[in-house]
Amino acid sequence: MDRDNTNMEKDMEKDLEKVKEDLLDPAKLQDPFAAGEVAGGVRYRSMKWWNCAILMIAQSVSLGVLSLPSSMAVLGLVPGCIIIVGIGALTTYTGYVVGQFKLRYPQVHNMADAAEILFGAWGREITSVAQVICFIFLMGAHILTFSIMMNTLSNHGACTIIFCLVGAILCFVLTLSRRLEEVSYLGIISSLSIFTAVMIIMIAIGIERPDPRTYAITNPTLMDGFSATLNIVLAYSGHMSFFSFQSELADPHDYPKALMVFQATDTSLYLVTALVIYRYAGPNVLSPALLSASEVVSKVAFGISIGTIVIAGVVICHVGAKCIYVRLYRGTTKMTERSFRSYGTWVLITFVMWAIAWLIANAIPVFNDLLNMIAAAFCSWFSFGLEGLFWLKMNRGQYSASKRKMALTALNIFLVLLCCLICGMGLWATGTSIRINAQHAHKAFSCASNA
């Protein structure tokens, strides 16, 4: 017994020495979650790289993958493939830049913290508002999708407002944990859910072959072509959560491994899904593509996809709520206390976010167009523009130091210009679509089926 006590005391002394080393490390002092580890509170920095990869997949690879076949039908087979692979390659690079920026500036927890380094206090405030708006609208999209699923499965068995409320409550309950590591285990369910649903739809459409005219010549209008491209861009726009994911890694240097697994998974799945479904459903493929299958298959796929509909929204809310939570309690022990006040604050933040998301899902008739407008205005910067500026910030004064630096400088300037193009053209395309579709929109807070 004495020997066991001695070993326990030695382990405690080692842990104390580790804490002291962390305290002497200025970089770790800047990390927003370091205080909790010192004070013995909630330990946030506990994820392994595979936890991070699962969270990335769970957040980004959702039902949006089933909109890509219709995008390919508008763009054409070859242009669609080039855009999916090209944007996948660019977002892999910009995701890597996010990781390097976090290692250079350990105090960064979200895009607002990074914007403060680039632009000062005003940049932080603008970006804070932008990222919270994006998170809440994306949450609203998941509530709306949940109601569509329930209307489809039940043949409109209840008021759509009630279905939205059920979805919001379910998501709220699953967002109550403060640690991303615990949420990542839900992400396994989400990933299996969307993969299974996609496989069912691909097999069913391959058997049914609704309209296999794959190589139809497309001549899309500028608005239609850019709207289709914007759908592909949005499928890769998970970058505004990457700082938060890396902040809760046990070793932030493991982030590139998670990023590569995620990007290989989503790019492969996006390309195969778009190709196979477009090949057999033809140019008239619907969005989401599961609507192109038979009624029974659509219901089965919708039922299986409930995991990703709910959990992807949970991941999004968790990251958005953590941005607010860290902003409130950064530099204090309240953020990691196991107290009623600290946990109550977390619960209140998530409740308010889901309540607003529920209101948005019910109140805005042209919801999808408005969501695309928000994404064009903000996600273009979160996925491309800010990353270009991050690299330029980290390499200031070295732009022409070598041929490699000159090439990277050109690439990152291109990313900023690409962001401006996506933002400007996306706002124009979605604004035009809202004007055209407003007269056909559903009424706000309607019990009518939206399936």
CATH number at residue 106: 1.10.4160.10
For residue 318, the model assigns a pLDDT of: 97
Q: Minimal CA–CA distance to 316: which of 142, 95, 67?
A: 142
- The beta strand positions in 217-260, using DSSP E, are none
Q: What are the tokens at 156? A: 């409109």
Helix (H, G, I), strand (E, B) or coil at 203: helix
**Residue 401 falls within a domain, yes or no?**
no
Amino acid identity, residue 268? S
Domain total in the chain? 1
How do residues 229-280 score in pLDDT, each as one tens digit?
Answer: 888 988 898 999 999 999 999 999 999 999 999 999 999 999 999 999 998 8
Bridge partners (DSSP) of residue 47 are 249
Phi, psi of 249 (to 5 degrees): -80, 140
**Residue 439 falls within a domain, yes or no?**
no
**Residue 359 falls within a domain, yes or no?**
yes
Interacting residues of 429 by C-beta distance below 8 A, sequence separation 6+:
223, 226, 227, 230, 372, 376
Q: What are the tokens at 304? A: 């299986």
Q: Minimal CA–CA distance to 259: which of 46, 45, 53?
A: 53
Q: What angle do CA 256, 258, 264 make, to 5 degrees?
A: 95
For residue 178, the model assigns a pLDDT of: 93
**Residue 442 falls within a domain, yes or no?**
no
Cα–Cα distance list, 289 to 223, 280, 319 (Å): 21, 11, 29
Q: Quote the CA–CA distance of 28 and 33 in Å, as a whole number.
A: 9
**Residue 389 falls within a domain, yes or no?**
no
Q: How far is CA 370 from the centre of its chain?
A: 17
Phi, psi of 47 (to 5 degrees): -75, 145
CB atoms within 10 A of CB 261: 17
Cα–Cα distance list, 27 to 32, 103, 263, 327 (Å): 10, 9, 29, 19
**Residue 434 falls within a domain, yes or no?**
no
For residue 40, the model assigns a pLDDT of: 59
**Residue 5 falls within a domain, yes or no?**
no
Ranges of the chain whose pLDDT falls below 50: 1, 4-5, 8, 12, 15-16, 18-29
**Structural domain range at position 200:** 42-365
Question: Against a cut of 0.85, is the pTM above it?
Answer: yes
**Residue 425 falls within a domain, yes or no?**
no
CB atoms within 10 A of CB 255: 25
Q: Minimal CA–CA distance to 58: which of 311, 280, 306?
A: 311
Q: Quote the CA–CA distance of 324 and 330 in Å, as a whole number.
A: 10
Q: What are the tokens at 444? A: 């706000």
* DSSP 8-state code for residue 249: B
Interacting residues of 239 by C-beta distance below 8 A, sequence separation 6+:
91, 94, 95, 98, 382, 383, 387
